[in-house]
Amino acid sequence: MVDLYPKESWNFVFGLASLTYGVGVFSFARYTDTFYRTPPSKDTTENYICTDVTAKLLWRACKVMTHEIGHMFGIKHCVYHNCAMNGSNHLAESDRRAASLCPICLRKLQEALKFDLADRYRTLVKFCEGSLTDSQTPLSEFADFGEWLQKAITFLESKQYTTQVSRRPR
């Protein structure tokens, strides 16, 4: 793993994405527990960081990838809610960022991709439970998010929600 510095004047980025080119890049380097003990020099790429893939590293990686992919779909930094699209300037701020999109950003993505929200959440629950991966990395960091997703699915499938949606003007 290597730290990212897109411009000489910047101190670092966790990731960076371009809607124009449809590409994104991120680094796990600052998400490892060993990075802050002996950070690599900014002037060299020879100081690679090697670490075990832990549940915490995988959780952090999924959050930054979700954020950068959101940029690739044209979603800017969110300032309205605790959201996967919030910006972050340090690890603690990144760790506080939600794993899911807020209602505003989720609607933007849903409009662009035309997906069924309950189906999306069901697939995410399967991932959180480990049934979509053959990785030996424990997914313990995903447990709370999986529980939140399950509650959201229950609401989306409830009579209360379907009644509200059917009354909404088109």
38 Cβ partners below 8 Å, 6+ apart? none
The residues that are catalytic are 68
68 Cβ partners below 8 Å, 6+ apart? 15, 16, 17, 24, 25, 26
Q: What is the dihedral of CA 34, 91, 29, 74, to 10 degrees?
A: 170
CA distances from 81 to 23, 47, 49, 68, 144 (A): 26, 37, 34, 17, 19
Query: For residue 119, which phi and psi values (nearest 5 degrees)?
Result: -65, -40
Residue 18 β-bridge partners: 23
Note whether 69 and 25 are within 8 A (CB). no
